[in-house]
Amino acid sequence: MNEIARHIEQIARELPAGARLVAVSKFHPAEALMEAYEAGQRIFGESRVQELVTKYETLPKDIAWHFIGHLQTNKVKYIVPFISLIHSVDSEKLLSVINNEAAKCGRTVDCLLEIHVAQEESKYGFTPGSCRDWLAGNPLVEYPHVRVCGLMGMATLTDDENRIDREFAELKQLFDAVKESGAVDPEAFVELSMGMSHDYRSALRHGSTLVRIGTSIFGERAY
């Protein structure tokens, strides 16, 4: 068993029922992805549109591609025809563009709303308060080609485990409140994407259904 396969197997053993691994493959070559694929991994996460499109064109078609990075509106059209899940919807404007491009393709695209809870200015997303306020107006009926399936968020990059736990707990509380609010389809609203290589165990304790792990699988990024 190669190193990548060994890492995937180790993480898989830690996942509770209902949680899945997104192998964050950005900046890693197709050969590394194929090693993960041959070990049974089928969900891969990318954050650059051109890199994602290139890999989609060259790798097996049963891969479920997740877009996990900041998505520019002018690049939405390139991934909408095939993307399985967009984790990083950080504005209504982006949601509108995804809806319009999905309509052209005859698709309904699954998306997560990105929530900013980290104590870092570099993060994108709705605040918990702005998310609640926006959804209170029942805006999603305007976007029939988008299905909002849950929330995504990142904890602060810190060694303070208590802070990380608080931020993941805040995301889970918001997830539960939104699911019960009537503003989303409760049967579709099932995903909570949180947790990366350094904090995924905490995320799983707080109900994450999608952990986004790269370094612990592929090693440091191959720039």
Range of the domain at 192: 3-218
| CATH code, 157 | 3.20.20.10
**Structural contact between residues 187 and 195, judged by C-beta atoms closer than 8 angstroms:** no
Closest CA to 104 of 78, 130, 124: 78
pLDDT in tens, 80-98: 999 999 999 999 999 999 9
154 in any annotated domain: yes
Q: What is the predicted pLDDT for the residue at 124?
A: 82
Is 197 part of any domain?
A: yes
Q: Say if residue 223's pLDDT is above 50.
A: no
Ranges 21-30, 50-59, 113-122: which has the least confidence = 113-122
Contact present, 140 and 184 (Cβ < 8 Å): yes
Q: Does residue 152 form part of some domain?
A: yes
Domain membership flag for residue 193: yes
Q: How many separate domains does the chain show? A: 1
Least Cα distance to 144 among 189, 90, 106, 201 occurs for 106
Q: Quick check: is 29 in a domain? A: yes
